[in-house]
Structures are given as C-alpha cells and as structure tokens.
A and B are shown apart, each in its own frame.
Chain A
Amino acid sequence: MRYFEFGILGFGTGAVIAAIALGLVVAYRASGVINFGHGAIAAYCAYSYNSLRTDGEIPIPPLPNPVAPIEGLFNVEIFNLPTFISVGDSVATIPALVIALLIAAVLGLIAHYAVFRLLRYAPVLAKVVASVGIMILLQGAIVIRYGSRAKQADRILPDDTVDWFGATLPIDRYLLLGLVILLTVGLWALFRYTAFGVATRAAAENERFATLLGVNADSQAVVSWVLASVLAGLVGVLASPIIGLTPNQLTLFIIPALGAALLGRMSSFVVAAAAGVGIGVIQSVLFLLEQNASWVPDLNIPQALPFIVIALAMILRGETLPSRGAITAGRLPEAYVPKLTRARVSAYSVLIAVSVLIVMFAPFRFRSGMNNTMVGVMLGLSLVVVTGYVGQISLMQMAVAGLGAYAVASFGTDAGLPFVVALVLAVLAATAIGAIVSLPALRTRGASLAVITLASGLAIQEFLFKHEGWFGSADTRNTDAPSLFGFEMGPNSSFPIGDGKIPSPGFGLLLIVITVLCAISVMRLRRSRLGQQMLAVRANERAAAAAGISVAGVKMSAFAISSALAGMAGAFTAFKLGQFTADSFGIFVSLSVLAFAYLGGISTVGGAVMAGTLFAEGIGIVVTEEWFNLNVQEYTAYVAGFFLILTAVYNNEGIDGFQRTQFYNLVRKIRGDRSPTPAATAEEVTA
C-alpha cells in the first residue's frame, strides 16, 4: 500500500517531466529542434512567478554594462543597470500567473526569432549547441538574480488531502495528473484535426514542398514555440511547491523529459506524456524500495533511471527517430589542417615561453590562473576531437574528467602506484567509460550523442560521485603530489628556481609540458588517416559508410580519444586541488566547458587554447578581474551561455576562426594582394 501511495506521490514530478516532454515534442515537430533549454524555461517562469507573488518584482536578465571596465579602471561608479521591474508589493495569484506565462511566451518568441529561426538551415550541431546555450543562459540568470539556494515556492493548487483508493494523499498530485492528461489530449487533437496541425505535419515531412503549397512553416514554428514554452512555464509554476524551487532542479528535468520524448519518437504526445508520468511514478516507488526492501541494493537507482530510459529509447527506437526533410545549407566550422609555418611555430614558442614565465615568476593568482588554463586547454582539446572533428556533442566532459581524477586518487594515493602508472591507468579508465557511454548512441544520428551524454553526465554525478562509500563518503579524497624520478612536482612542492611561493613552478611546468603534448597529439590526429575519416563522418555519414568507413567505429574512437584527454584534465584537476571533490565535476561545469570550447573555436587546436584562457578562473578571467577590477566569476555561466548562442548563430568557428580570417584579410591588405579568396576561385576553375 505504501508503494501505491508513493506511486501517486510520483505524479508530481511525473507531471513536470511529462509537460516538458510535451513541449519538447511540440518544438521538435514544428522546427526540428531538440531544445535542451526547455526545463530552464520552466524554471525561469517558476522563479518569475514566485518573485511576483512575494516581492512584486519581474526579474530583468542581467545586461552588460558597457562602462564597467572604465568604472573598474578608475574605481568610480557611473551607473548601474536595473535588476528588477517592481509592480507593487506583492501580486495576486492570477495576475502573477498571467505575467509568468507571458514571460514564458516571450521566452518562446525570443528562442524562435533570435535563435532557431536564424539557424533554420544550419547543421544539427549548431542547433543543439544553441539550445544548450539557452539552458546555461537561463540557469545562470536565475542564479545571478535569486542565488542557488532553494526557495519557498508559492502554492496555487490546494494544499488539501483526499481519501481516494483507500489512501490519504495530497490532491495536487491528482490535479497535476489531470492537467497533463488534458494537455496531452488537447495537443493530440490540435495536431491531428486542425489545419494548423496538418500544416505542421506537412512541413515536418517536407519543408520545401509545404512552403510551395503555401504553408508558412515560420508562423507555425512561432505558434509552437510559444505553446511549448507556456506549457513548460505553467507546469513549472504549479509543480514547484512539490518538487522544490532551485535553479538546477527544474532545469535538469530536461533529462528525464528527453527520455520520455525519445520513447515517443519525438512525435507522439500520448507516449511522451505517459512515459513522463511513468518515470516520475517509478522514481518515487524506487526511492521507497531502496529504503525499505533489503534485496534492493542502495545504489541511487532512481537517479540513474533517466539515463537508463534514454539508453533504452535509443537502442529500441533510435534508428526510427524521424528526421525532417529540411533544407540544410549551413556550413560546419572549418577544421583547418595545422600547418607548421615558421610564423606559427614562432608564435607558439612565444606563447609557451610566456606561459613558462608566468608559472615561474608571476603573482599567485596569475600562476594559478595559468594552471587552470592548461587544464582548460586539455578539456577544450577533448571537445575539438569529438565535436570539432566528428561533429558529435559531448555534454559529460567533466564527469569523465571526474572519473580521471577519482582514478588518479585511487591508483596513485590509495594504492600507492607511481605517478606515471596512476596517470596512465586514470586515462585508460576515463577512455573506457567514455567509449561505453557512447555505445547506445552510435547507431543513431543527429543530437543523440548530446542527449545520452547529458544523461550519463548526470548519472555519473549522482550515481557514482555522490554515492556513499564508493567514491569516498565525504565526497572528497586526497591526492598526493605527482612525482617523477623522485622529484616532487605538486602545486605545493618546493622548486629550486623562483620565489618559492605556491603554486609551485614545478607543477606549472609539468602542466605546460603535458598540455603541449596533448595539443601536438590532436594536431597530428587531424593530419592522420583516422582524422580524415572523422571529418568524412562529420561531413556525411551516409557517404562515409559507402566509402568503406566504419561510422560507428570512427565515432567511438573519437569518443575514446576525447575521454582520454578529459580524463587527463581531470587527473590534473585532482593534483591541482590536492583532492578529488565531486563538486568540481558537476553537470553544469560540463555544459560551460562546451560553451567555452565552442566560443574559443571548436574545430581547431588554437580554439582550444583560446577556450583555456576563458575557462573558469583561467588566465584570461584572472587578467580581466585583476586589471579591470571586474567581478566576472559570478557571471561566468550566464555570459558563457550568451556567447555560446551568439557563436552558434553568427560565427560557428569561434574566436580562433574569427582571428584567422581577420588575420588573413589583414595580410592580404598589407601585401596589396588582389587575388580572389579561396571560396571565389570556383568560377575560375570552371572556366
């Protein structure tokens, strides 16, 4: 009977999962986009509603203050941008709900007009990246405005209990379930019977023909985005008292929702909603089982459930995921062949020399900033391989890095193996996990790797890192300093040259050597046969298969190599901190790693270097904070999300690609070169 009660209690989370899943399906059917930011939209609305109810304030997303660097340099305050619009002390329930849903609608409109409409013909990669940007941006905005602690949520649904089916349970669970059923039936009828629905289905089938027949695919997408956002917002507001109001929780409901939507092949409302409610119910029952039944191992199984659902959905239905007959014209970011010209070799040498000087003689913050940058470069390189070269997205890089960190703590410190052996074992462990996780997604195309890695990133975080007893009960494990030939090179070890302050130059130099080796390996990879095959797979999976390339094999090797690099980065994070802590390897850190890697330039080694300077507490951030006196750290996630969207929409080659073209044009101008650009030479050849 208790199980029945817990099952009913699961309707609360189930309804939220179902509603977000419905929104995902609506948006996918109308525009072919899997919106990873859909949970974040629900969270943003729930926060807005509560802010209106308690303080009568509408949050304004943080805007850049253009004079901030000047303020910082001269230590004056010129002006501050408003953070909230006040509409009285506290707003009544109905108006507050209406305003919150209006905000949801506006978010939907912005998502469509400012992002996905511009990416209509772009490759899947750009769309997924942009939607991850939305997720980080909104989550970051919530944290900036409301902090990351849980808040008391205002209740709309009655707080009563009812005595149905022999159990006394809160009525809101039944009401939420009813609402989801109503929404599902409504959407099903809308898409089945109305002209709007028929037109949307036609456009999804073949956008070109539908457009020729007078269907305006664009206006349908507008309606669908608004509809999807309002749905998410409504359920977010109603259910937040039950599931709790924290910036992460609703945002991360995207993961089970993705599982539910995938089970419905991103097209069936009924299956998606049923699966969503089902996940909520099963999770709730599993919680109780784990507590009560002795035969159920205490493994945090409920946390891993969404991952299992997604993996199953991919294996069972992945191949049949409907793809849109859309017209794609967008280009993928160019993966330049690294050419070692004399200019470039000298530029890299200068870069390395400056790094060496910084880690040896610069003040504390700059030194540690340089160390962070080196780790960031390795993480960036790991994404260059999997995303830049193969066009697949990994949202679990930090989870893999965490495994590397954990392994190095276990093998090196606990088991007492020498540094090099422990490092190699850690990298191998990360490689293996990365390859295994990618397995379910290998046969599917498009955004599937992004989905499965997001889910497994969370599963590793919740299931392994936070598990009592396995990965250390206190979430932390100590890591001894790395030592080579009896020479200790940890961040706190002594070093013969320099001022003897921490972090030790020895550690910094070791990091530089390892990072340079990683960078050279990735450059070599680009030139190798395997690297060519990776780019062939990225360009066209079907043609690659026909040319005798094992597409699954190439994807898996990319994933393994990428995981090895991430594992390496994780191991050095552990050395840097002197311990393994689960918090350094959370899911949102993974997302911002992708953001910075993409912003730096996802398909070149230079881009990874750029990403490293921007990454959390990297040298670029340190310089901005120290010289311009700006507090950037707090805004990192938010800004990362913003620039991620911007990069995906306007310049998918990132900063590195941008500087390459600028540099190229500049050189041409200086030389007075009038020969056509490479792109323009096609005509010449034809003639």
Chain B
Amino acid sequence: MSTATLQTKGLTVRFGGLLAVNDVDLDCRPGELTGLIGPNGAGKTTLIDAVTGFLPKNASGSVNFDGEEALGTAPSRLAHRGLCRTWQTLELFDDIDVRSNLEVASSRLTPMKALRDYFRGSDVDERIATTLELLNLSHVADRSPSELSQGQRKLVGVGRALVADAKLLLLDEPAAGLDRQETVWLGLQLRRIVEAGTPILMVDHDMGLVLSVSDRIHVLQFGKLIASGTPEEIRNNEQVIAAYLGASGGDE
C-alpha cells in the first residue's frame, strides 16, 4: 500500500478520438501541497474532473483515494469520503449566504437528520465558524457570495470544500482573476490549510504561486505526465522548459 492520499495509475480520459489525459500516474501525499501545471490544453482540469467523478463515461485506469478506488463513484459520494474540489469558474451558490454555502457542504444529510434538523432547528457547527475565521470571511458570513470580491469568492469555494471534512482538496485555478497581492495572500492561506492537516492538489497558471507554495509539482503536456519533482527540480527540468517555451522544442 502506498502512503499517498491520492494515487492515479494509468489514468486515461478519452473524448471520442481525443486523448485528453493519457496514461497518467501521479500522487498527492499527506501534509503536502502538490502543484499540477502544464500549458493550455494539457488536460489539467480534465484530470481533476475525472478524479472527482464528473467524467464517469470517459475515464479509465485507476484512481486510489484514501485506500479505495474512486473511479466509478458519484461526485457526491466522493465528497462524503473527503475528496473535495473547487472550480475555475467558482460555481458558488449565489442564492444563499456565505455561511449557508459552507453549511450545505458540512455534513451529509440523511432523511433522519433532515427531519431532526427541520423540527429542532440546525445545530451550530463550530467548524463553520473556525473555517470562516481561518479564511478571513467571518465579517461577510451573512452576505450573498455574489456581493463579494473575486478573491473572497475563491475562498468561499475553498471553505466549502474544507468544511466537508476534506481529506484532500483539489483546487482548479484558485488564483485565476486575482491580482498580485491577492494571489500572495491566497498562497499564504493555502499553506495554512496544509499546515492545519489537509493536503491540497492545486492546478494553476500562475507559475510564481505554484513554484513558491508547492512541496512537489507534476507537469502535464498534451495529456501526458512529463515531469514530477520539487519546485527546484521542475524549474531546472529541460523538458518542462521546452514545453513552456513551445517552439524551442525544435532544438533537440
């Protein structure tokens, strides 16, 4: 048994004739922030979609999450098992306030629980307050997410994933649309989350962010994994440099 929280083996995603993710083996380890980078169209988001159960018909191979196979399991069940994600496009629930956004994700609602909650009123969940505090969102808890700044909205998404007792957070481009300062601040929050015990797999285009906060990095190109290693190793990896500079691949 590997000690990794998430381990993919030969993960492949096919859309008709297109191989979006091609035979990828990667892992995320406990206590680490893992970066996943690659040029546009490399298959990063597709990989996250596949791992979180949104592409049941296109994905093949194996995804071991927390000791169990994750492929073929519905997204809501994976969320209950602690595999939680955010979206590039946020996808918050704008109809309910920030606190409720976290509350709906915080516990599994069985019919019995729903009835008890209905007749007795909702219990106050300490974790929600703690998480709002951790993400610096307490003062906006009663507002609709649509009234918040882009950076805060991103954090609501992260918070929603966190309160679901996440064993692993998958973040899809958390820094997209943020300015320099907000990005640095976001990086600090993400490190705090990892230090608090929840490992993260993060996809992002902001190389500065990924290189500065990640413990290890995987690099995808055209759906294939071309490199894995520490930020230092990745920075000096020739294949990665070639992939990012594109045309210089002709030098070989």
Contact = CB atoms under 8 A, between A and B. Distances in A.
B35 interface: no
A319 B15 CA distance: 16
B140 interface: yes
Interface in B101-160: 101, 103-105, 107-109, 111, 113-114, 117-118, 121-122, 140, 143-144, 146-149, 152, 160
B103 A532 contact: yes
Contacts of B52: 546
B38 interface: no
B20 to A, nearest CB: 18
B94 A539 contact: yes
B88 interface: no
A682 B96 contact: no
26 contacts: A335-B95, A525-B118, A529-B103, A529-B109, A529-B122, A530-B118, A532-B100, A533-B104, A535-B95, A540-B93, A542-B91, A543-B91, A545-B79, A546-B52, A546-B75, A547-B79, A547-B104, A548-B79, A548-B80, A548-B105, A549-B76, A550-B109, A551-B76, A557-B111, A678-B143, A678-B144
Interface string B143-180: 11011110010000000110010000000000000000
Contact of A539 (B87, B93, B121): B93
A112 interface: no
A532 B109 CA distance: 11
A547 B165 CA distance: 11
B76 A682 contact: no
A544 interface: yes
A549 B104 contact: yes
Contact of B149 (A543, A545, A548, A686): A686
Interface in A329-388: 332, 334-335
A550 B76 CA distance: 6
Residue with the greatest number of chain B CB neighbours at <10 A, chosen from A524, A536, A681: A536
A332 B96 CA distance: 12
Contacts of B96: 532, 535-536, 539
Interface of A: 332, 334-335, 524-525, 527-530, 532-533, 535-536, 538-540, 542-551, 557, 678-679, 681-682, 685-686
A536 B104 contact: yes
B92 interface: yes
B35 to A, nearest CB: 21
A527 B54 CA distance: 30
Contact of A529 (B76, B79, B101, B117): B117
A527 B91 CA distance: 22
A544 B92 CA distance: 9
B102 to A, nearest CB: 9
B103 to A, nearest CB: 6
Interface string B30-58: 00000000000000000000001010000
B95 A334 contact: yes
B147 A679 contact: yes
Interface string B82-93: 001101000111
Contacts of A525: 118
A536 B93 CA distance: 5
Contacts of A546: 52, 54, 75-76, 79, 84-85, 87, 91
Contact of B74 (A528, A539, A545): A545
Nearest to A528: B118
A681 B147 contact: yes
Contacts of A332: 95
B76 A545 contact: yes
Contact of B147 (A543, A547, A678): A678
A685 B147 contact: yes
A208 to B, nearest CB: 14
Contacts of A686: 149
A132 to B, nearest CB: 23
B185 to A, nearest CB: 13
Contacts of A527: 122
Contacts of A678: 143-144, 147
Given A539-B95, A544-B93, A546-B79, A528 B149 contact: no
A545 B75 CA distance: 6
Nearest to A391: B95
Interface string B213-233: 000000000000000000000
B108 A548 contact: yes
Given A332-B95, A547-B105, A681-B147, 17 more contacts: A525-B118, A528-B114, A528-B121, A529-B113, A535-B100, A539-B92, A539-B94, A545-B75, A546-B75, A548-B76, A548-B79, A549-B76, A550-B109, A682-B146, A682-B147, A682-B148, A685-B148
Q: Which 3 A-B pairs have the closest CB atoms?
A: A548-B79, A543-B91, A547-B105
